Amino acid sequence: MCKVVYCLVLLTYLRFCDAKNNGTFPSNFLFGVATSSFQIEGAWNEDGKGESMWDEYSHRVPSPINNNDTADIACDSYHKYKEDVKLLADLGADFYRFSISWPRILPTGYTDNINQKGIQYYQNLVREILKYNMIPVATLYHWELPQTLVAAKLDWTNPDLIDIFVNYTRVVIQNIPDVGFWITVNEPRQICHQGYGEGTLAPGGLNSGVDDYQCDYIVLKAHAKVYHMYKEEFPHYQAKMSLTIDCEWYQPLTNSKEDIDAARRYIDFECGMYSYPIYHGDWPPIVKERVKLRSGLQGYNRSRLPEFTPEEINYIKGTSDLYLLNIYFAYLAKDVPEAPSNVTSCQSDIRAELIQFPGISVGVNGFPIVPWSIENMLKFIKDEYKDPEILITEIGTSEDGSSLEDDMRIDYFEKTLYAVLEAMYNYNVKVIGVTVWSLLDNLEWTTGYTARFGLYHVNFSHPNRTRTPKKSVNYYKHVATTKRLLSAENGSNFNSISGFMTIILLFTILWNSFM
């Protein structure tokens, strides 16, 4: 067995000695920074803005947000957007990914009440971005459903919301024509499974295995209808459009077939739920198989997973101009026994347990920091989803904000970006850009202001919401402007670093196999 391990390690080392990765990105590679409207804008009830689902959620008593935090003021970017765009320009960013607040545009959710001040705000924001020769990347839905629609039960489990959403997006696109990329929906899995299944995000629904699947079905159909509307009604617009999918990497705990299958199930139930219908049509086969099996065990006369009609399959398939990826963490996956038949949940449908990698650091929000995993995910997307062009729309890690010396974040960025280059150099993955989450410390949903993802520290106790650059600002500016990693400038041996990281992974897998 020692000889086998020795040979595997040697082959790994030789592979990386021959690697082409020199820490340099293509000259046309795009570096950007992201935010979302609810998390930074504030001005929650100013200038005609309506209440959003997250406004209502954060104002509940008792509060579901850490420390009773709200986004009523947040970073006050509604009033400080020019300052924020200047920070982006100073970073050397190629693009700014922001989102549109639906109730700021349509206070009641409907087009019979258009808030011109809301439209003017986003027009001014786009104009400011263009002034610095940056590309505006706009997300049409980053979780801000108008509360009036929620109150009327016109939420993401109701098919009637589809046309209402399309009408909203049409108003935005008509009035903000200079966007460089359109994102229809951000992270449908979080919207559906955390919002309607596990109750950890607004609106706090707790019907896993039923309402979350209905939400998946509605969101995909809504995305597809917006995509077709955009292509048919705005053929003179050149911006590419897609939805952002959050995909995390799941590595088998051992090399057993059972654990390999468990890891694949997790990926298909998370990433594949949205990627497979768009690139191949219909749900992933294992998802259909598992939900049908579990539904039968529970006495249902049909699967809890809504069935696409042939027309819907064809309508959804191909509704993506590029693959938009959010990725933050990775876990080891282990096969587990079938849950009792009286348990109805997405988790029991997946039938797998997640285990943290040994020796891995964890961010303040609980995300394990596994930078190399992005290479695996990028190669998976290339192989499984027709080798698409990929824009990474979010990477990031959080700290507690106690220091501006965020060396942990710099280390994460350096290793993550290196892993992106590995995917590009070794597997010819077509990555065109990467986006850091986020520009500013902001309200991180239910963790409130305790988890700080920002390049810039924000003083939330000061009325001016003062922005102060962290150490990572200079790091990201260097990478964005030179297209080179810091280690490349310092002459570090990239092959040795990558080989060492891979050997650690190999050792972990082998060790777990023998346990």
Active site residue ranges:
187, 394
The DSSP annotation for 248-284 comes to: -EEEESSSSHHHHHHHHHHHIIIIIHHHHHHHTSSS-
Q: Residues 117-154, buried b or exposed e (16+ Cβ, 10 A)? A: ebbebbeebbebbeeeebbbbbbbbbbbbbbbbbeeeb
**DSSP bridge partners of 362:** 368
Q: Is residue 351 within 8 Å of residue 265, measured between CB atoms?
A: yes
3-state secondary structure of 136: strand
Q: Is residue 281 within 8 Å of residue 385, measured between CB atoms?
A: no
Exposed (0-12), middle (13-18) or buried (19+): which is 337, by Cβ within 10 Å?
Answer: exposed
510/515 Cα distance (integer angstroms): 9
**DSSP bridge partners of 157:** none
156/391 Cα distance (integer angstroms): 26
52/43 Cα distance (integer angstroms): 12
Per-residue tokens: 125: 């924001």
Q: Say which residue the tokens 């892993």 belong to.
A: 419
What single-letter amino acid sits at 105? I
Q: What is the largest CA-CA distance in the chain?
A: 73
Q: Is residue 283 within 8 Å of residue 302, measured between CB atoms?
A: no
Exposed (0-12), middle (13-18) or buried (19+): which is 15, by Cβ within 10 Å?
Answer: middle
Instruction: State how far Cα 489 lies from the chain centre.
Output: 30
Q: Say which residue the tokens 């402007």 belong to.
A: 481
Q: Is residue 249 within 8 Å of residue 330, measured between CB atoms?
A: yes
E-assigned strand segments in 219-311 = 240-246, 249-252
114/104 Cα distance (integer angstroms): 9
| Residues in CB range of 257: below 8 A, 6 or more apart | none
Per-residue tokens: 360: 């891995």
200/203 Cα distance (integer angstroms): 8
Alpha helices in 389-449 (DSSP H): 407-427
Q: How far apart are the first and last CA of the chain?
A: 14
